[in-house]
Every structure is written in structure tokens, then in C-alpha cells.
Structure 1
Amino acid sequence: MALENSAFTCLPESLSLPVSEKVEDPEEKSTEDDPPAGLFNVSEELGHVVTTETASPPKPPANNSRSFQDKMAAREAQANQHRKKVQGAGQERGKFGWGRSRRKRQRYVEKNGRCNVQHGNMRETYRYLTDIFTTLVDLNWRCSLFVFVMAYAVTWLFFGAIWYLIAYCRGDLDHLEDENWTPCVNNVNGFISAFLFSIETETTIGYGHRVITDQCPVGTMLLLLQAILGSMVNAFMVGCMFVKISQPNKRAETLVFSRNAVISLRDDRLCLMFRVGDLRSSHIVGANMRAKLIKSKQTQEGEFIPLDQTDISVGFETGDDRLFLVSPLVISHEIDARSPFWDMSQAQLEKEDFEIVVILEGMVEATGMTCQARSSYLAEEVLWGHRFSPMMSLAEGFFDVDYSAFHHTFEVDTPSCSAHELSLAAARLDAHLYWSISSRLDEEKWEGPSLNNQPGKETHTQPTIGKEEGGPTFTVGGVTETQDQSGQGEQNGSITTDQSESEA
């Protein structure tokens, strides 16, 4: 049942006070930063309007015979006043009109989805080494590339040094010109050549210039060991890089959320709504939406929970949280008795300090990997009495989506009271309508001809009690009713008759 907005009280609009125009001095030109005399500053603190009268600064004398110190003091005063005006643009006015900086809430989740949490004083850091693969995958690209390069460089240098040590211990470096000497590795005449042979062995290049001989069993064992370890290093590092490249984190960049959330009526119920869309043509399979309210809480036992998480239902019971994200959708949370916003009105919303975290999960159609996109809305990013603009139109043979209106909202008539007060008002309206219908039925029952036209009985009528002229009249029995009884009967929505009439 639709409710008229006139039945609810709204917030007072901004006050407009008369401001006297300032007459410019023809000799001394005033700056725009000087406030006119008698100007009232209208500030708002905790929902109350406070008016304070500020005294206008004294005007500089009109004569040009001022001292140098007076001119410098006047310039410094104007500069300080201009600086206060620029800095005070993002400040709210406190008590007695003094400006104060508004405390900005620290986000738990940034707008781009990054969680603003840092872990410190962790003593069990060895747990990172037990899962070295995930640790390497979680590193940023700079560190990952550094580890990738160093893994190959260290193994090449390590085995190159061993090959050089074998050649040095066997005396191959002392018989370089001896044709009758059989070295362990042909054409290894220093560390550089040993290092090149290590690279050729591990990468299986095999140029054929440096070859191991059958007169070196130690070299044969080292060749097998390097080939096995080289394959393991290749598999490990290439696997890390492949997983890091194929991570669906960048897929979440094309999942966009609206800059603001809105609260307005939908089917005569207050709803919290935000918009989500996918910029790619490939879809998210099995998209699922969740929402959390992050707010400080103190339990009944006195325990303080700084970041308490409360679930916000976006259709889990009805299955509306499972999305078919082909076009942008407006996600709606109905503010009912189970909602954390049940007792929150428009005036209270401006004083609250909370954060709404929205999470979209799904599987990437191209790769089959799970993707998650996150965003958040602070209390000042929730617009009361707004609605999202439509962005879809029907073109020739297809539906056209205009993403230029994705973040656009417009104002609509919305009661400023809370959803709890709105439901109480609707219940009172329903109760009033119910009793009105019952009274009409009683009127039709008692005004019928059955009581007036009964054969063998004479009825005496008396004028209407407690009714104006032209209104409906009530017929009572032969016993005259008193004024108090008739008034009480009308208040109860029924007709009071005497016991003798009921017996008759």
C-alpha cells in the first residue's frame, strides 16, 4: 500500500538569512575574503543548526599615510584569512562557529578492492618457507622477477665453480697445450669457460665445442646432478611465473561498482542499493554477491570490538544474490527488522561512522579460475533519497547500455524517517482503515429496516447524538440513551444500546 510522503516529517531545509550588501570603499579596494558586517554563519553540528554572529574585521584606514609596519600587518592578516578560507573548505563548523577538521574514517577496504590491513610483529615467519610456492606467487612483480633471475644465475655460477674446481684439481689448467693430456672437459681453460659449460649443460644447448670426456667419472656424476637440478629449477620457476601471469586479479579490474550507494523507496520499502557491472563481453560464470557492514561495537559485557562484521542480506534467502551479470544490475538490500539499518534515519545517517564492504565472486569464463572483486562505501558515500539513473535502451535488434550514466543518481521523494518508524506509520494507517471499515459495517447493520419495520412493535426515534447535521443518524431503542454512553459507543466504533433493547 503506497504511503504519501506528506505523512512523514522531513529534515528542515537550509536556512536563508538576509545579508546586508557591503559598500566598497572608493579609495581602498576590499578583497573578497573579507566577510561583510553582520553576516551570520550557519553551521551544522550533529544535526542541529547553530547560528553565530561573527564580527567583521576592522577596515584599514582610508588614508595612504600609514606606516610600513601597519601595511605589512594588514597584508599578513589578509593572507592568513585567505589561508583559513582555503583550508576551511573541507572543514565543518563546530560549536560557537569555530572551524574544526573533520575526522576522516580509515577505510578497511579501498575503492579498488585492496584490503588496507598490514600484519606486524609476526614471530612465526618460518611458516612462509613451508609454503614457498605460494610465497613466491604472492610476491609483487619486481620481487618475482628478481627471484626468477637469481634462481638461474646462482645455479649456473654454483655449477660453473664446481666445474672449474674439478679442472683445477685434476691439473687440466696446467696441461692446456699438452695434446697427450685428456682433460675432464675439453676446451675449459678458465672460470669463464667453466661457467659457459655450466649454462650449456643446464639449458641443454650443447654447442659441441666444450664436451665432457669418458676419463672423468666425477664429471659424469656432476653432469647428471646438474641436469636433474636444472629441470627442477625450470619446472618450479616457470610454474610460479605461469600461475602469477594467469591470476585473475586483473579480471577484477573490469568489474566496476558505483561510486555511491543510495537509500530510497522500492515497493513502499526502504532499500539500500548499489550498482555493479562488467565491462567485458566474456561473462562471469556463477556470479555471487555478498555485503558486510564494518562498524565498531560494544557488547553488553563491555567488550569493545573495533571492526565488527555484520552480514547484510542481498537476497541470500531468495536466491537473488546469484547474478546473471550480462548487463549492469542494481543490487538491493531491503531494510527490514533483521537489517542493521532498521532504526537509522536520514539525520542519524549523517552522524554514523561505518563502512559497507561489497564482494562479487565468480568464475572467469575464459580460464575457469575464480575471480573476486571488492569495493566499499563509507557513511558519507551513502545518498539518502536518491535513485540510479536508467542506462539501458532498446536499439535495433539489441539492448544498448550507456556506461556514461553508470554512476549517475537523481533525487526522489523519500521519507526522512527510519524504516522502523515507516513500518509503524503503515501499521497505524492500516489499523485506522480497519476500524473505519468496521464502523461503516456497523452503521449499515443498525440503520437497516429490520429494526424500524418490525410488525407489532412501536419504535421511538430520537435525534442524532454527537453528530453534526447532514451526517449519518443512528437509531436506538425506546430507552433514551445518555450523552456519555453515546459518546463512548462512537469512540469504540459501535452503537451502545440498552439491555432492554437487546432483550426485545
Structure 2
Amino acid sequence: MSGPKHSPIYRLTATDPQKQRRVVSKDGHNNVRIDNVEGMVKLYLHDIWTTVVDIKWRYKLTLFASTFVVTWFTFGVIYYFIGMGNGDLDPEPGYNHTPCVQNVATLTGAFLFSLESQTTIGYGFRYISEECPLAVFTLVAQLVLTSLAEAFVTGAFLAKLARPKKRSETIKFSHLAVVTQCEGWPCLIVRVANLRKSLLIQCQLTGRLLFPYETQEGEKTLVQQTVVDFRLDSSSECSTLLLPLTFYHILDESSPLQSLTAENLRSRDFELVVTLNATMESTAASCQSRTSYIPQEIMWGYEFKPMLFASPSGRYMADFNCFDEVRPCSDPSMLSGHVHKLRLEKEYRKD
């Protein structure tokens, strides 16, 4: 494998001296705590499907198992009381007595009959009698109700397995963002890669800048949002995420980060939330992956190390050991932090 030679590479790790608050964590999870909502349990029960799909796996597995066990035991108790009311549990039943359920004389036997009926592994030793309409009605009700309950729980189980959220875990964002010069303008650049061979199509990277804001009237807002546009070459949309790509945002006059410089970067208080929306080619389902960057995770005057090389077999190889590696850029204006001043001087000389 061969690749171009470059200057020494530095792997930089961002640090958070005071553990700055974040709305979105680096792995894309929501850090906002919802509290003091009246009737939260009632609201969750109104949307029971979403609640069941969203619960953690340990609770979902418990719900899945308890659905079967509880219904088996509940209807077993019902069959037991039906037999008790019919006199099936008497020590000496009459000569012409016909039990509601044959060979069920204990609660354990009633539970086993309920289990065999619901799982359709009967009837052999225990079976229902046609002389007891109440038991027949209970059997029909059990099969209808438990089929609905099992379909609901099984569907929620499969829906959680097939959630596009899991696909987003194989979308990788660079740990750091860099600011380097591109076509005469400083650009904020992030790197994104797809870790699976299955393609992501119609990819679009968008950003939201979150920062504290104070209005002219003196009203303070803890989190103000504004849009940060990211581009790939000449378009804001990527047809396929086949190779590791770099998306950039130009820090021009229309950018909400236009006042950002190398000197004030570390003193700024903001969070840049980056979201990738894409469609999975295999299932046509949409997925979304996100991360965030704070000033300590933005490197001014650096650029990403190339990670795509040509192999001797004629194929391309993406070396993910270089995915998060950055190096100082070769532009002296970026290293000095006076890129805006130099650009104005060039425009003045042209005029």
C-alpha cells in the first residue's frame, strides 16, 4: 500500500477542563433531562406502543416473558375456580358427574392445562368437556386475548431489533472538528464515514449552533439555536456515503460563526450539534446519526490526515487508524490566525 508523504502527524485529544454542559453527547444521545411534567405516566400509557418499543432491553425481555407466564397463570386460576364451582374438586364426585376439564384436580393441573391450550401442545391427558359452556367460553376468550397480547409484545420486540437507530451506530463522526483554509476562506470541517458495506443514500449533513443569548431588552436565553449549513464540494447533499467524506462550513459573512478566530475560540461558549440524515439502501428506511462539538474540540489551523490510499491490487483502502488524526495545515495565515486580515489585503490589492 502506498500513499503520499506528509509532515509529522499529531493525534490531538480534546479536553473539557470544567466539563462543559452539552445538549447532545459525543455518541449522539440526548442530555436533556425532562422533569416536573404533570401526568407523565398517563401520557406514556396513552402511547403504549412507543413506550414498549423505547424501554430498555432488560425491561422488554421481562415484559416478553411475563406476558406468557401471567396469562398462563391467570387463566389457570380461572379454570381452577370453574372446576371448583362445578364440583370437580370434590373428594367423591357423583357417579354421573362430568368434569369441566378432565384430569384437572389441582391448581397445578389447571395451570398446565392453560399452558397446553395457549401453546397448542394439547390435548391429550387434560382436555375440556363439552358439558361445561363456561369453560368453553373461557378457552375461546383465552386464545383471542392472549393472541392479541403476544402479537403486540412480539411486534414491539421485533420493532426494537429493526430500529434504524442501530444502523446509526455504524456511522462514525470525527472526534474533533478542524478549521482550515479552503478557497481563501476559513472553513469548519468535520469527517464522516460509513462503517458498513451497505450504502447510505441521500445523505445530508446539517448543523445547529447552540449558544447562550441575551436580547436587547436584557432577556437572557440559556440556549439559542441557529442553522449552520454544511456542504460537500458544490452541493449540500451527498448521493451515497461510500467513502469517508469531509463536510465543510464556510466562515463567511453569512455564517453564525463569522466572528470566530484562533484567539477567541477557547473563550467562546457554544455547542455545534451535527446531524446526518440518510436512507438505508437495503431497507429504504431513514436513519439519523448525530454528535456535537464544543470549542475545546475544534482545532484552529489544522487539517485531517488523508486516510484513503490505493492498494497494489487496484482497490481503494480506508485506513481508520488515521480517521481522527490531524496535522497542522501548511497555510501560514491559518497558523497565525489572521486569515481575515490577509483576505482583505488581497481584495484591496486587486482593486
2:128/2:135 contact within 8 Å kept: yes
Instruction: Return the match for 2:19 from 81, 96, 104.
Output: 104
Deviation, structure 1 residue 179: 5.8
**Residue in 1 aligned with 2:139?**
223
2:204/2:236 contact within 8 Å kept: no
Deviation, structure 1 residue 318: 5.5
Deviation string 1:97-156 (CA, Å, 9 cap, x unpaired) is: xxxx95331121111111111111111321211110111001010111122222222211
Question: For the residues of structure 1 that align with 2:273 and 2:155, how far apart are their CA atoms?
Answer: 33
Instruction: Return the match for 1:117 from 29, 32, 39.
Output: 32
Match of 1:116, as an amino acid? N
**Residue in 2 aligned with 1:430?**
350
Instruction: Return the match for 2:327 from 398, 407, 410.
Output: 410
**Residue in 2 aligned with 1:12?**
none
- Structure 2 alignment gaps of length 5 or more: 1-13
Question: For the residues of structure 2 that align with 1:323 and 1:262, how far apart are their CA atoms?
Answer: 24
Question: For the residues of structure 1 that align with 2:254 and 2:191, how far apart are their CA atoms?
Answer: 22
Question: For the residues of structure 2 that align with 1:349 and 1:392, how far apart are their CA atoms?
Answer: 30
Larger Rg: 1
Note the 1:96-245 alignment, pairs <5 A.
102-125=17-40, 126-174=42-90, 180-245=96-161
Deviation, structure 1 residue 421: 4.1
For 1:188, what is the secondary structure of its paired residue?
coil
Note the 1:33-112 alignment, pairs <5 A.
102-112=17-27
**Residue in 2 aligned with 1:309?**
225
Deviation, structure 1 residue 323: 4.6
**Residue in 1 aligned with 2:253?**
337
Question: For the residues of structure 1 that align with 2:180 and 2:254, how far apart are their CA atoms?
Answer: 18
Match of 1:371, as an amino acid? C
Deviation, structure 1 residue 391: 1.2
Structure 2 CA distance for partners of 1:202 and 1:419, relative to 1, 3 Å: farther
For 1:352, what is the secondary structure of its paired residue?
coil
Deviation, structure 1 residue 355: 1.2
Match of 1:407, as an amino acid? D
Deviation, structure 1 residue 334: 0.9
Q: What is the total number of aligned residue pairs between the two structures?
A: 333
- Structure 1 alignment gaps of length 5 or more: 1-89, 92-100, 432-504
**Residue in 2 aligned with 1:482?**
none
1:203/1:230 contact within 8 Å kept: no
Question: For the residues of structure 2 that align with 1:215 and 1:144, how far apart are their CA atoms?
Answer: 41
For 1:291, what is the secondary structure of its paired residue?
strand
TM-score normalised to structure 1 length: 0.63
Match of 2:138, as an amino acid? L
Match of 1:355, as an amino acid? E
Question: For the residues of structure 2 that align with 1:422 and 1:334, how far apart are their CA atoms?
Answer: 16
**Residue in 1 aligned with 2:315?**
398
Deviation string 1:369-412 (CA, Å, 9 cap, x unpaired) is: 22111111110111010011111122232212211111111102
For 1:348, what is the secondary structure of its paired residue?
coil
Deviation string 1:253-300 (CA, Å, 9 cap, x unpaired) is: 211111111111111111000101011111112222111111111122
Match of 2:328, as an amino acid? E
- For the aligned residues, what is the CA RMSD? 2.2
Question: For the residues of structure 1 that align with 2:20 and 2:158, how far apart are their CA atoms?
Answer: 39
**Residue in 2 aligned with 1:501?**
none
Instruction: Return the match for 1:352 from 254, 261, 268.
Output: 268
Structure 2 CA distance for partners of 1:293 and 1:186, relative to 1, 3 Å: same
1:291 paired to 2:207? yes
Percent identity, aligned pairs only, is: 37
1:343/1:418 contact within 8 Å kept: no
